[in-house]
Amino acid sequence: MAVRPPDRDELAAVARSLGMDLDDADARAYQALVAAGFASYDAVEQLYAEIAPERPQRESIRPDDAGNPLGAWYVRTDITGAMDGPLAGRTIAIKDNTAVAGVPMMNGSHTLEGFVPSRDATVVSRLLDAGGRITGKAVCEDLCFSGGSHTSITGPVRNSWDPTRTTGGSSSGSAALVASGEVDLALGGDQGGSIRMPAAFCGVVGHKPTHGLVPYTGAFPIELTLDHLGPITRTVADAALMLDVIAGRDGLDPRQPADLQPERYAAALDGDVRGMRVGVVSQGFGWVELSEAGVDETVRAAAGRLRELGIEVVDVDLPWHRHALHVWNVIGTDGVTVQMINGEGYGHNWDGLYDPELIDYYGRQRRATVDRWSPTVTMVALAGQWSIEHLHTRYYAMARNLAFEVRRHYDAALDDVDLLLMPTVPMVARPIPAPDDPLEVQVARALEMIVNTAPFDVSGHPAISVPAGLSDDLPVGMMLIGRRFQDATVLRVAHAFEQLVGGFGAPSARERATA
């Protein structure tokens, strides 16, 4: 379809929005010059049509309430991959921020409702090629900007341990489906803790890989420097197996280093952990008005049990862990507004694979549905846009420079120990807020739990949440953090701990009966 260039009045309006004052003669001249330039837009559209992927025919259905008791499924499907492979026969849920070609993708938001992608995300292709069976898309929160499970437009996702409580977000459906046993494996995404937080609340394993280890191609971006994809599983062994499949360069994602060489994660699980040192970060405990004594005590007790494996456990003082949250807050406000909102999701100026159809669909829907965003998305859009207009992204630039300091301080701590340790989240799963609760409550239940997880999205270090025990009969997650691109070490120690304590049970029959 030929692009209609702006007429003189439209161009004059654009000029005014930029602070320009064009006289009639200049307006006529620029209108002709601009119109001529749009011939290239028409040519690009014709050229792209020759290489654009053709959408496959894949069946999917929206489950009814009876078939979706936790509210965790967005759509059900049954897509089989290779006949054999490391994931042969394993059922997989894909977080609904990640494209499965021919299957609806809503990203928890009115702004993508009705969109159907034409191309599988790289990780989806890899899971299918490894023999996996995709049985549906898991609900995620509105544009994935929430650590709670009450902000998707499809309704709350409920925790199988107690259906009145949050699963955490934004990979809410992924964690709920794994914890309830409806799937073997799930894909999650993490920009502020969205793999690890729901894993902790639901009593499962969630691994955020080193930034760039897993290609993000085909997942809806939030902020290029924060975007991660990774596994949510019932065991560490399954997380390692899944990481073996999805890790590695795809040549389409500039987040990935050119010299990336993945480790062999499943093969490394049984390596010796004796003599390793784990540093318990004091700043990860005792968050005022957030940390629950039962959570801190459960994680400290779990850390002490590592000594039974021959691991030395020491205390670490790391003030920059508290500073790092402020750095994330600025990146997660200005950066998200520039890219996810004003940049139609993908942003610009990076050398990766774009999705023009999604960008166009989202761009049109965003303008039509902006007043239907969740409170968390609305809050970040208001703060970020004000900052852009009045502070000119100066603070984003400072925060991105400080990200090197954040990484340096974690790296320095990891020079003295092999892993860092702290609670994944400072509390157990809290009740899902009611729809008529005040905005302040809605936002608190969506963001209060990110304090320990978000810093490692800034630094890029690998971090896993593994169940540590129970507090008030609800799961507690212990987070282990390793050196960048040494994910195998993180997984090995997490696996050793899991084997030591005998694994971690699913919700009891009583809890399942009330779900």
pTM metric for this prediction: 0.96
Domain-located, residue 299: yes
Long-range contacts for 440-443 (Cβ within 8 Å, ≥24 apart)?
442/150, 442/151, 442/374, 442/375, 442/376, 443/375, 443/376, 443/379
301 in a structural domain: yes
Measured distance CA(259)–CA(252) in Å, rounded: 14
CATH number for position 377 = 3.90.1300.10
Domain-embedded: residue 468: yes
Q: Do 31 and 91 fall into the same domain?
A: no
- Do 127 and 40 lie in one domain? The reply is no
pLDDT higher than 50, residue 44? yes
Count how many domains the chain has.
2
Whole-number average pLDDT of the chain: 96
Is 125 annotated as catalytic? Answer: no
39 and 112 together in one domain: no
Question: Same domain, yes or no, for 384 and 442?
Answer: yes
68 and 40 in a common domain: no
- Residue-wise pLDDT for 140-196, tens only, equals 999 999 999 999 999 999 999 999 999 999 999 999 999 999 999 999 999 999 999
Q: Are residues 45 and 67 in the same domain?
A: no
Q: Is 95 a residue of the active site? A: yes
Query: Is 123 found in the same domain as 39?
Result: no
Q: Which residue among the candidates 172, 174, 194, 291 is catalytic per the annotation? A: 194
> For residue 210, is it within any domain?
yes
pLDDT value at 503 more than 60 = yes
What torsion do the CA atoms of 294, 296, 299, 301 make, to the nearest 10 degrees? -70
Q: Are residues 133 and 41 in the same domain?
A: no
- Give the pLDDT of residue 335: 98
In 3-state terms, what secondary structure has residue 370?
Answer: helix
Instruction: Provide φ and ψ at 32, rounded to 5°.
Output: -70, -40
Q: What percent of the chain has pLDDT over 90?
A: 96
Do 192 and 151 touch, CB atoms closer than 8 A? no
Q: Which two tokens stand for residue 145?
A: 């900007």
Annotated catalytic residue within 95, 208, 465, 471: 95
Among 109, 152, 160, 170, the one annotated catalytic: 170
Same domain? 73 vs 96: yes
**Pair 349, 234 in one domain:** yes
Identify whether 170 is a catalytic site residue.
yes
Please check whether residue 45 is in contact with residue 360, taking contact to mean a CB–CB distance below 8 angstroms: no
pLDDT digits (tens, 9 = 90+) for 299-338: 999 999 999 999 999 999 999 999 999 999 999 999 999 9
Q: Are residues 35 and 66 in the same domain?
A: no
Q: Answer yes or no: do 338 and 238 share one domain.
A: yes
In a domain, 181, yes or no: yes
- Residue 3 in any domain: the answer is no
54 occurs within a structural domain: no
In a domain, 2, yes or no: no
Confidence of residue 514 (pLDDT cuts 50, 70, 90): very low
Domain extent for 22: 8-49
The upper half-sphere exposure of residue 441, i.e. CA atoms within 13 Å in the direction of its Cβ, equals 9
**Which 8-state DSSP code applies to residue 340?**
I
Q: What SS3 state is found at 248?
A: coil
